[in-house]
Amino acid sequence: MYTRTDVFYKVPYVNSAGKKRHRSRASLSPARKVCREMASLILTEDTEVSVEKPNANKWLQAYLAESNFWPAGYRAVEGAFSLGTSAWALSFDVTDDATRITLPRNDARMVLPLSWGQTGVTECAFVTRIVSRGKPAEQVQIMAMDKDTGTYHVRTWLLRNGVALDPEAEGIIADFDTQSRFKPFGIFTPGLENVHDDLSPMGPALFADAIDELKAVDIAWDAFIQEVANTGVKVFVDDELIDANGAEGGDPVPVGVAEDMYYRKVEGKEMKNYIEVFSPTIRTDQLLTALNTALAELGDQCGFGQNYFTIDKAGGMKTAKEVVSDNSQLMRSVRKHEVVIRGAIQDVVSALLDNARIHCGADIEEDFGPVSVHFDDSVITDTQTEKETMLSEIAAGVVPKWMYLVRFYGKSEQEARDIVAAEAPAVPAFF
């Protein structure tokens, strides 16, 4: 349904010659739409990720700015909504000069959890296709805790046509000790219960319980397109206006033909005019009502509420106040998904900081503190009002100034305190 390759999108019919044929059903791609919309509400470039210790936070912000972190993160979240699961896993490029750490994205087809429990997935395998020495190969990486070292190891195998390759000959480290206690991956899933596979750590797609609603949307949209196509203006012309020889010796065609608007008058019928125009009545209002009903049910089933998707209103992003007033269901859904996604980001960022300190020589405190993830909820909450409220509380002396920088700008507590202290006016000595 997500890629529109389901048999539902092939509509059978019998042509005039009695042959069975199929046509493609017109579609609004509703499965992709709900995944794309939910991901855009949760993870944006305004999402703030930070840690308490100043050196670690400074390095982290530089890495986020340089590594295409948020676009990749958005695609990871959208992938989790579409297939139920996606992951970020650290990748180590080790050379004699330096070690480089990247965060490739893995969708559900590449993720194989090995150990999990109430705290989530603790050991995982990742399978992907790579090119090694100019030839395609399958790479299998197992990221698991080693009992002897008490740290996570990344063990790698390469396969070509089912035959294991020599890792050293391919320039691959077969067993890489991260020397870190943090698991080097984060698993993204929607904040939904997986009722399709009991006890599985994998999540369901965002639209897993809305298959009928997806079909209803596209059935209504397809009917709308068919209605427009079949009720177009038909122009009937007399034979005297038809080129009997046709274009390049083909079938007879009207002079100045445009698409399928022109037809020959039926022979034997009484002719009133050389040209007669027939314009059937189009039923757009009824079809739009059916389409909006299907969209409302889709939005309700996928957590957006019944007022989020509509086809006959002016487009554009809704403001926070509009969403708050008519769609509290969306707020609850976004919050539920954020809880799960926040944990995945915290997992992978904690491992990133620790491994950058160990292997890259980054100036990061060993105890860098917990990772804080602040989502930009300006679409579902009135962020401007929250800022104004906190500023008034600061003016009244209820909360300290540094909390404003932590809450809305992702600063660590120490950084925020230092900024406020630097801007504070000097106190005269006689005080």
118-143 tens-digit pLDDT: 889 999 999 999 888 888 999 999 99
Q: What is the pLDDT of residue 88?
A: 94
Give the model's confidence band at 421: pLDDT under 50 very low, under 70 low, under 90 confident, else very high: confident
Q: What is the pLDDT of residue 271?
A: 57
Give the model's confidence band at 168: pLDDT under 50 very low, under 70 low, under 90 confident, else very high: confident
Pair 45, 70: CB distance under 8 Å: yes
Range with the poorest average pLDDT among 139-148, 244-253, 399-408: 244-253
Give the model's confidence band at 314: pLDDT under 50 very low, under 70 low, under 90 confident, else very high: low
What's the mean pLDDT when you consider all of the chain?
A: 84
Q: What is the pLDDT of residue 307?
A: 83
Q: What is the pLDDT of residue 215?
A: 96
- Each residue of 195-226: pLDDT tens digit? 888 889 999 999 999 999 999 999 999 999 98
Amino acid occupying residue 132: S
- Counting residues of the chain whose pLDDT is more than 90, the rounded percentage is 49
Residues 359-380 have a mean pLDDT of 86
What is the spatial distance between Cα 418 and Cα 273, in angstroms, rounded to a whole number?
A: 88
Between the alpha carbon of residue 142 and those of residues 22, 114, 188, 205, the distances in Å are 45, 9, 18, 25
Give the model's confidence band at 246: pLDDT under 50 very low, under 70 low, under 90 confident, else very high: low
Q: Which long-range contacts (CB under 8 A, 24 or more apart) does 380-384 make?
A: 380/41, 380/320, 380/323, 380/324, 380/330, 380/331, 380/334, 381/320, 381/324, 381/331, 382/320, 382/321, 382/324, 383/320, 383/408, 384/320
Range with the poorest average pLDDT among 17-21, 247-251, 255-259: 255-259
Q: What is the pLDDT of residue 301?
A: 94
Query: Residue 325 above 70 pLDDT?
Result: no
Query: Residue 100 above 80 pLDDT?
Result: yes
Residues 262-282 have a mean pLDDT of 69
Q: What is the pLDDT of residue 255?
A: 44
Query: Residue 310 above 90 pLDDT?
Result: no
Query: Residue 239 above 90 pLDDT?
Result: no
Instruction: Name the more confident of 241 and 370.
Output: 370
Burial 327-348 (b: 16+ CB within 10 A, else e): bebbbebbeebbebbbbbbbbb
Q: Which residues pair with 258 in a beta bridge?
A: none
Instruction: DSSP letter for 180, please.
Output: -
Pair 70, 43: CB distance under 8 Å: yes
What is the spatial distance between Cα 407 and Cα 321, in angstroms, rounded to a whole number?
A: 21
Pair 140, 125: CB distance under 8 Å: yes
Q: What would the DSSP string read from start to end of 413-430? A: HHHHHHHHHHHSPPPPTT
Pair 287, 220: CB distance under 8 Å: yes
Residues 6+ apart with CB under 8 A from 272: none
Between the alpha carbon of residue 314 and those of residues 9, 298, 318, 379, the distances in Å are 28, 19, 10, 17
Residue that has been written with the tokens 């889709």 in this structure: 298
Q: What is the pLDDT of residue 125?
A: 97
What is the spatial distance between Cα 151 and Cα 160, in angstroms, rounded to a whole number?
A: 30
Give the model's confidence band at 300: pLDDT under 50 very low, under 70 low, under 90 confident, else very high: very high
Residues 6+ apart with CB under 8 A from 135: 160
Pair 414, 52: CB distance under 8 Å: yes
Give the model's confidence band at 378: pLDDT under 50 very low, under 70 low, under 90 confident, else very high: low
What is the spatial distance between Cα 323 and Cα 292, in angstroms, rounded to a whole number?
A: 18
Range with the poorest average pLDDT among 122-136, 144-158, 186-200, 398-412: 398-412
Residues 6+ apart with CB under 8 A from 126: 87, 89, 106, 110, 111, 112, 140, 141, 143, 185
Instruction: DSSP letter for 245, please.
Output: T
Instruction: DSSP letter for 46, please.
Output: T
- Each residue of 18-35: pLDDT tens digit? 889 898 999 999 999 999
Q: What is the pLDDT of residue 270?
A: 63
- Each residue of 46-59: pLDDT tens digit? 888 999 899 999 99
CB burial of residue 256 (10 Å; 0-12, 13-18, 19+): exposed
